[in-house]
Amino acid sequence: MSRWQYLIPLVAILLLSMMLHEIAHGYVAYRLGDPTAKSRGRLTLNPLRHLDPIGTAMFVITYLAGGFIFGWAKPVPISPYYFRNRQKGMALVGVAGPLTNFVIAVIFWAILMLLRSTLIQPGSIRTAVGIILILAFQVNVVLGIFNLIPIPPLDGSRVLGGFLPRRAYEAWVSIDRYGMYIVIALLVIVAYSPLGDSLSRGYDALFRALLPGYF
């Protein structure tokens, strides 16, 4: 399959994975007393409710450009003032998204390991199916790890915030307004510096260890 042929399944995997990621945030918030996501119809498996046109376009553009893949789904609205403990509540909400991606990755890992003897057949149409399953596994591992980076507004910053003193937490949360710029700068640095090569080698080693025979 060519790069163009992988585009549709890759975007579909990314959108599905990020949709479940966002639903997990909203569901945990709902369980902690915040009805915002539910009242706005965001606890749904309808992908159109989670689609961000610009974020989806960025997936396509960055994929075709051949560099790092970057994009986003529409964030689920959270009102932490409903939580009994705002810091701990946001930490639980934050960790729910990456944890969901890791669970999805484990499911695809199990499928790949069970079907390994069937999927590793060069020249077979099943090889393409195997590659798509590998993409689904890799996407969710990377999403889970990336979102745990403790930089606002990534989920890792929410988890870290749960352990900060109150005054430090207020200052930490205030950085959120600049968070997207920080994340974009981080991605550019990773993509166009030796750090990016090191991370790629690290991910390759991880995937070879977790999926022996596929790489």
Residue 129: inside a domain, yes or no? yes
User: Is a pLDDT exceeding 90 seen at residue 55?
Assistant: no
Write out 36-59 in H/E/C secondary structure: HHHHCCCCCCCHHHCCCHHHHHHH
Q: Active site residue: 22, 42, 89, 147, which one?
A: 22
Burial of 120 (0-12, 13-18, 19+ CB in 10 A): middle
Closest CA to 134 of 203, 54, 69, 214: 214
Q: How far apart are CA 78 and CA 200, in angstroms?
A: 33
Closest CA to 101 of 56, 163, 146, 35: 146
- Across the range 38-66, mean pLDDT stands at 84
Residue 215: inside a domain, yes or no? no
User: Is a pLDDT exceeding 90 seen at residue 64?
Assistant: no
Domain count for the chain: 1
What pTM value is reported for the model? 0.89
Contact 98, 155 (CB under 8 A): yes
pLDDT at 178: 84
Q: How far apart are CA 141 and CA 133, in angstroms?
A: 13
Residue 49: inside a domain, yes or no? yes
- N residues, the chain: 215
Q: And the tokens for 155?
A: 């989920």
User: For the segment 154-208, what is each residue's pLDDT rounded down to a tens digit?
Assistant: 999 999 999 999 899 988 988 888 877 887 887 777 777 787 778 888 888 999 8
Contact 82, 30 (CB under 8 A): no
Q: How far apart are CA 163 and CA 159, in angstroms?
A: 7
Is there a catalytic annotation at residue 22? yes
Residue 61: inside a domain, yes or no? yes
Give the residue carrying structure tokens 């060069």. 122
pLDDT band at 82 (very low <50, low <70, confident <90, very high): very high
User: For the segment 99-152, what is each residue's pLDDT rounded down to a tens digit?
Assistant: 999 999 999 999 999 988 887 776 555 677 888 899 899 989 989 998 999 988
Structural domain for 205, as ranges: 3-210
Q: How far apart are CA 84 and CA 87, in angstroms?
A: 9
